[in-house]
Amino acid sequence: MKQQIIFFWTELDYTFLDSIYELCAENGYIPKWQKGFGWSIGVFENEIGKDEVLISFLECLEAPIIKQSKSSNSVQAKKYALSSKIIELKLLYKEIQKENKRKNKKMANILLEDCYLNIDEINEIEKIYKYRLSENEINKINQDVEKYINAFPTLKNFISE
């Protein structure tokens, strides 16, 4: 079901990662790191009364809310799904580059299907964002993942179909 998420933006830096994740896990909030800006923490619009804990938390840290924005949970779920897969591929690419410099290569090729969204990842995303990804949305994300792989020959050569 599509819902609006209200994001409360702060200037807290990345060092608050553990505290932010703990707060969000305990209260059903959605953490979002914005590089170069800080944290935004999302609350579903129909649960806006639950933001009191968030506001108290930010007041304790003397971190004012500097702005608010809205976004659909469907948009956020798709963005999160794609960006998490791209981050995994970036880390794999760095590992491949290190591996290519080693004399005794240890890494085995991985399968292309392992780069796509799996059922556990889909279930986790749906749980967090309260939005069920359609088959078309999952296929589009997986197509974008494959385009990313194809853009990097070193990565593409390492992944088997």
Q: In this structure, are 51 and 109 located in the same domain?
A: no
- The count of domains in the chain is 2
Q: In this structure, are 111 and 145 located in the same domain?
A: yes
Q: For 27, phi and psi rounded to 5 degrees?
A: -120, 5
Does residue 70 fall inside a structural domain? no
Residues 6+ apart with CB under 8 A from 26: none
User: pLDDT tens digits, residue range 10-19?
Assistant: 999 889 999 9
For residues 100 and 52, the model is more confident at 52
Expressed as residue numbers, the domain containing 121 is: 75-160
The verdict on pTM exceeding 0.85 is no
Q: Are 33 and 39 in contact (CB under 8 A)?
A: yes
User: pLDDT tens digits, residue range 125-149?
Assistant: 999 999 999 999 999 999 999 999 9
